Amino acid sequence: MVQKVAEMKINQLINFLIQELDDLPDSRKPGNNTKYEISDAMMAAFSIFFTQSPSFLEHQRLMKNMKKKDNADSLFKIDKIPCDNQIRNLLDPLAAQTIYPVYQKIYQWLKEKKVLKKFFYLERQILIALDGTEYFSSKKINCPHCNCRNHRNGSTTYFHGCVIPAIVSPNMKQVIPLEPEFIKKQDGSLKQDCENAAVKRWLNKNSQKQDDAPVTLLGDDLYSRQPICELALSKDYNFIFVCRETSHKTLYEWLEFLEKSGEVQTLEKKEWNGRKKLIYRYRYTNKIPLKDGDDSLQVNWCEVTIINQKTQELIYQNSWITNHKISNNNVEKIVKAGRSRWKIENEGNNVLKNHGYNLEHNFGHGQNNLCEMLLSLNLLAFLFHSVLDLANSTYKKVRELLVSRRSFFNDIRTLLKYFWFASWQDLLNFILTENLTNSTSNSS
């Protein structure tokens, strides 16, 4: 019996967000300044990120004037469209955590519908990659939460950053971003914040739940320090973190000793990648001190070196520490899991910064929470599209038909500018029907 694949409708995702906006706190006094609902401001900001159209709201105002109906209302349930400044003013007092339940609802849906099983790796583990990124930078605009860099010429750069956790898998092209942890000055503190401290906060807030699949955390060399490793283990997480020789002197001194003693295992495999034959050389050992001292955590270490067999050119080399016991049977999978951390950069942050979401663009800074709220809405839009790519058959057909992400969003922007659609399904069906009609006409 063929199991029916779970379907996530766009309207269902939109409703996840709308449901969280019913009881938003409103600090405004009654009067003319309450013309627009905060929920409308929230959905208006989200609509820009979801359509990747900075002019979306302006186009919908014009459509409303001409056709007495608009896509902002039919697709995003926006009753009255506020202007950009009104959106910023209405959202600035709201903490980004206001919309975090939406991330959690989507995760729960993916779990219940068994979509998350597609990401299972390393004996049914979920891999969560952790990576810090900056999303705002300015020499003029700042707020009390900004971190800053003082330069030799006397100038100062103010910036905001965050740690973006994302579910990844070597077998999946999609990544599933989770709610971010912001790198910012903490309330009442003058001390600069850092990625290391933000990761610790995230770990303390997100202990492993007993009914969830086991999670292995992935991270760069910054995370392969004893405090973070111990904290991860105390929260029932596994880990695979990059471990460089330059920052782990004691560990590599032990490796040198163990190698001479014949206790570092080696495994070699040859693989044809479609263009050339590659040699994968794995080295590993178990139970090695992470740092100097009697209180050192014992970790397991592995390394991969990839060489072009014909030219003997070094193509790639990296090493990791983990709490997973390493053997000939799993070292290749552990390395693949460790390397999949780059998916959060390639399929995650790179897409967010360079492929339409414009993560680093200053959409608005505010004096309280605006910067963080806009980042969270932008990331949520990316999450929505990732989920649709996983669990909406019509959406996937449209994406495959239009091939590139750029073509997809160009068509969405153009259609929403000139045509009114009663629903997202009508919009997707229109694209499929028109392209099918054009293909038939061209072939005849």
Q: 358 versus 266: which is more confidently predicted?
A: 266
pLDDT in tens, 36-73: 889 999 999 999 999 999 899 999 999 999 999 999 99
Report whether pLDDT(210) > 70. Answer: no
d(CA 125, CA 218): 12
Rounded to the nearest integer, the mean pLDDT of the chain is 89
**pLDDT band, residue 438 (cuts 50/70/90):** low
pLDDT in tens, 343-385: 766 554 555 555 555 555 567 788 889 989 999 999 999 999 9
In this prediction, residue 212 carries a pLDDT of 77
Report whether pLDDT(425) > 50. Answer: yes
Instruction: Write out 101-122 in H/E/C secondary structure.
Output: HHHHHHHHHHHHCCCHHHHCEC
**pLDDT band, residue 136 (cuts 50/70/90):** confident
Residue 322 β-bridge partners: 240, 300
Helix (H, G, I), strand (E, B) or coil at 339: helix
Q: 89 versus 143: which is more confidently predicted?
A: 89
Do 391 and 367 contact (CB within 8 A), yes or no? Answer: no
d(CA 134, CA 162): 6
Report whether pLDDT(441) > 60. Answer: no
pLDDT in tens, 140-159: 888 888 888 888 888 899 88
Percent of the chain exceeding pLDDT 70 equals 89
In this prediction, residue 5 carries a pLDDT of 65
d(CA 80, CA 88): 15
In this prediction, residue 346 carries a pLDDT of 59
pLDDT in tens, 159-179: 889 999 999 999 998 999 999
Lowest model confidence (mean pLDDT) among 187-201, 302-316, 403-417: 187-201
H or E stretch at 308: strand 298-308
Helix (H, G, I), strand (E, B) or coil at 141: coil
- Rg over CA atoms, the chain: 25
Tokens of 341: 């951390």
117 CB-near residues (< 8 Å, 6+ apart): none
Tokens of 176: 């599933």
Alpha helical stretches, state H, 52-154 = 56-67, 71-76, 84-91, 100-112
Handedness of CA 325, 118, 347, 379 (dihedral sign): negative
Q: 206 versus 252: which is more confidently predicted?
A: 252
Residue owning tokens 């965050």: 162
The pair phi, psi for residue 215, each rounded to 5°, is: -120, 135
In this prediction, residue 182 carries a pLDDT of 93
Q: 27 versus 76: which is more confidently predicted?
A: 76
In this prediction, residue 351 carries a pLDDT of 56
Report whether pLDDT(444) > 50. Answer: no
The pair phi, psi for residue 21, each rounded to 5°, is: -100, 0
